[in-house]
Amino acid sequence: MDCSDYQKHMSMLIDGELGQHSLQALESHLAACSVCRNAYERMTALNRTLKDVDLYRPPSMLASRVKARFAQESGQPTGRLFPSAWRQVPLFALIVLLAIGVGNLAGRSMTEILVGDQSEAKLEYLLTDAGQSFSDIVLDIAVEENSL
């Protein structure tokens, strides 16, 4: 190991990340190498500065502004972001109604539902060719108009 390797270990030592075995080797090296001792002192001083200097102090009302933004995002003046149980009741009721509705409609096509029984005869007349969809009929009409 050279001084560069030991200096990397110094950095880990300052951060409390150096293992016991490496620590002993480093201590032996530091006892013998003035360049590395000097580097260690400088690194330690730098670390103290970075810890003590209180970099990037946040604005005093930061947390309050974060909470106010939540209130805005959730669209509720009281700032309730989390839906409480009673606020979920309408959603639950809607799901139940939809489930009942879907259950009642089971087995019927959307055409039957929208047009109803009285119009079924007319619809059958329009769709005499089995296998033709509504879009097929529209397409045929368009083709006929273009060919005129």
List interacting residues with other proteins (CB under 8 A). Answer: 7-8, 11-12, 15, 17, 42-43, 46-47, 49-51, 53-60, 62-63, 65-67, 69-70, 73, 79-84
Instruction: Give the residue with the Cβ less far from other proteins, 14 or 127.
Output: 14
Instruction: Give the residue with the Cβ less far from other proteins, 60 or 135.
Output: 60
CB 10 within 8 A of CB 41: no
Give the nearest distance from C-beta 11 to other proteins in angstroms.
4
* Buried b or exposed e, range 77-112, using 16+ CB within 10 angstroms: eeeeeeeeeeeeeeeeeeeeeeeeeeeeeeeeeeee
